[in-house]
A and B are shown apart, each in its own frame.
Chain A
């Protein structure tokens, strides 16, 4: 069963705009990871945030984690056409397994 749920399911934005997507989960976690999947390809790891961290940055990506609300957000700033992809959150349940959400499909229009 999926632990994380992303919101929204789909997002369409203009190039240069910011894209924000959210992930909610149900149980305590050790860390939460975000992945990107381009059409026809495998998932690519973007960023990992540990349960004792609140915010993390990597290039144009900003991830927040609120363990009290069991939620995380991924912000992509100054979006580009190449950011068009599906984005998944994955929760580490502490048993070396990851539970992936259903994903947010992001379309960046030129």
Chain B
């Protein structure tokens, strides 16, 4: 089975540029999560979707960040304009519908983003 697929794996861009990160969840998973990982703040949940609908975006740091899920097999996280402090590893994860509490989440290998 293919796991969660993220692209690109690495992105280096200059401050002010638009950055788009992509995620393909595991087929059949109802939930999709975007996280950001930094040394200082650890792993932070940015936003999550249920059946393609954004449920909780309270972790999105600023209006410069936006996320979409146009269909069950694709999601994007966009940063516009990007700033050096956005440098981090961004992870996408997916899971089945929770029943008795949460199901395990399956993570992609992340996008390492560097904003110069």
Contact = CB atoms under 8 A, between A and B. Distances in A.
A48 B31 CA distance: 18
Interface of B: 4, 31, 42-43, 45, 48, 50, 55-56, 91, 93, 98, 100-102, 104-110
B42 A100 contact: yes
Interface string A1-30: 010000000000000000000000000001
Given A50-B100, A92-B102, A94-B101, A42 B109 contact: yes
A97 B104 contact: no
Most buried by B among A2, A51, A96: A96
12 contacts: A31-B101, A33-B104, A35-B107, A41-B109, A42-B109, A43-B43, A43-B93, A97-B102, A98-B45, A98-B102, A100-B42, A102-B42
A43 B101 contact: no
Interface residues of A, number: 26
B101 A92 contact: yes
B87 to A, nearest CB: 16
A101 B42 contact: yes
Contacts of B42: 2, 100-103
A81 interface: no
A42 B4 CA distance: 10
Interface string A41-80: 1111100101100000000000000000000000000000
B22 to A, nearest CB: 15
B43 A88 contact: yes
Contacts of A101: 42
